[in-house]
Structure 1
């Protein structure tokens, strides 16, 4: 793991912590290899507040979020970065408790790229769907550039697909703070699992964020805050490019391979427990290379298909 990643395990579960002016963070006690120290939920503003990513369907975490509010404060809006079970199910329970609307890009699968829709429509079995909250149904759909506002705060949606097609980041206007969900995290690279995940879209998201000016602080869905976004983004972009070249080299050396076998060859420095997730990233990369004509596939396309050099 690169030294640029922040792997500090220190965390306080269930208690509100100030992490930026006007922003409090409550961490869910759901640590795992995929969530690191747990899902980070954020409370934005004072008085009438927004809650970003209420997390899983966990009554104790919901109580912790509501318990973090000061006397007289009320939840005015609930914003969800994407429909994975560690981020979105708590939104409906929080809405029932507060009456606040749930705001997001759309239900699970919304925003899927044309390339992924075509593969799905053709009936190819790409697997995927890990951790999907398929019943997620926001009250308000947020398109690119739309905002949710409250006293002294404005959160603007950025459509940031890649990890998931309906993924949003939220810019806290006038502060340089960006809530990045799982699109960019300071502790690891992002899982991209087709068809809802799309590596080409993830790379476009990383490049878009790198081109933005004024973002000084990232508050991700897992892990610590990122106080130097630019070098992290540069590393993530270079890392993905290097992985692509390594996959092509391994494919050429073996004369072919599946996503699983190539992951074992390329992700030799990865915890074996994470190799299934790495194989999903490899498949996402191979699908992009297939679309570019840089690899071929032997037989029907599937999650277990044999790929060959073009």
Structure 2
């Protein structure tokens, strides 16, 4: 891998946020601040033939994020009113969050994959109380004590903010060309991180807008959730191998920094998950009859398990569940089929 965004990498190391950067003629990277360990989202601004701008992702729906996006556009001599269209790589809040404000300020269309459009409709169309109870029930079904599940899932009042998220005006399937004049961006469906995750490959420049599918430093969270993909890690690894066959001129990820060497990075990520699967299988063998909630506590994380709570603990447990499902599909573990399934290593013949 070759780092092509050294200013972004330097900002990461210095625990700051990088400045707006001109990536190519007519293309800029605007860092939009984000609370939490990822620190910012890369919103990409594309100058359109005939006037106006396109965006790839927008950032989190917060006032300081909105201010940063507006300031970034102002810094390149433009404004939010110039935006004509927004391509959303996936439905997570840090990527779609500001799309509603952009559309309100500019009249821009918003496009995403149909699977994520359905997921977003489920989130925004469901009463916060029902949404909370659905997640609590899902976590209890993974082995969480109900009190812990409720503490981690949060309150209906916290979930009410989801109703501000914008549903798309347009849908993009795999291979569809985005309506951004002057660019030849085609959608590449890469399920795993979400069911409808999209990357965008520009046929003229060789640029690859990777969203969260491939990041240069970390592995994106691959998790199960209520109503989601049955085997999200399998889908992720398949789509990871598919994009790894490409060798774009440059990879523009949703977080961290730009790089070259997509094939090498996808091999690293696939190897990471194989190591993770082996660690989990060893934990199942050592603790037979355990739930995903139990097993997550026996795995290696970036900090002590006792420090995990709320969304971080949910991500860890649901990621563990995704790895269990792939082990099961490979015939290496078996579940007992109960309402709260427990897992045991399969007997190999």
Pair in the same fold by TM > 0.5? yes
Give the TM-score band, short-chain normalised.
0.7 to 0.9
1:250 equivalenced with 2:257 (yes/no):
no
Partner residue in 2 for 1:95: 103
Cross-structure match for 1:199: 233
CA distance 1:126–1:21, shift in 2 (3 Å)? farther
More helix by share: 2
Query: Does 1:109 find its partner at 2:119?
Result: yes
Question: What SS does the corresponding residue of 1:143 show, helix, strand or coil?
Answer: coil
Number of aligned pairs?
289
- How far the C-alpha of 1:292 sits from its partner, in A, is 3.9
- TM-score normalized by structure 2? 0.73
* Aligned with 1:54 (options 53, 58, 68): 58
Q: Is the 8 A contact 1:126 1:194 kept in 2?
A: no
CA RMSD of aligned residues (A): 3.1
Matched, 1:172 2:202: yes
For residues 1-310 of structure 1, what are the structure 2 equivalents within 5 Å?
Answer: 8-10=12-14, 13=17, 15-33=19-37, 36-45=38-47, 47-58=51-62, 59-70=66-77, 74-106=82-114, 107-109=117-119, 125-127=137-139, 135-195=165-225, 196=228, 198-212=232-246, 214-267=247-300, 270=303, 272=305, 273=308, 274=312, 276-302=314-340, 305-310=341-346
**Structure showing greater Rg:** 2
Gaps of 5+ in 2: 1-8, 121-133, 143-152
Output the CA distance in 2 between the equivalents of 1:76 and 1:268. 42
Q: Provide the C-alpha distance between the structure 1 equivalents of 2:178 and 2:301, rounded to a whole number of angstroms.
A: 44
- Where 2:255 maps in the other structure, the secondary structure is coil
Q: 1:79 to 1:268 in 2, by over 3 A?
A: closer
Equivalent pair of 1:194/1:280 in contact (CA under 8 Å): yes
- TM-score relative to the length of structure 1: 0.81
The CA distance in 2 between the partners of 1:267 and 1:92, in whole Å, is 38
The 1:244–1:14 alpha-carbon spacing in structure 2 relative to 1, beyond 3 Å, is closer
Partner Cα distance (1:268, 1:28) in 2: 27
- Structure 1 runs not aligned, ≥5 long: 1-5, 111-122
Q: Is the 8 A contact 2:33 2:59 kept in 1?
A: no
User: CA separation of 1:252/1:12 partners in 2, compared to 1, >3 Å: closer, same or farther?
Assistant: closer
What is the CA–CA distance in structure 1 between the aligned matches of 2:53 and 2:205, rounded to whole Å? Answer: 16
Structure 1 residues 25 and 253, CA gap change in structure 2 (3 angstroms):
same
Runs of 4+ in 1 over 6 A off after TM superposition: 128-132
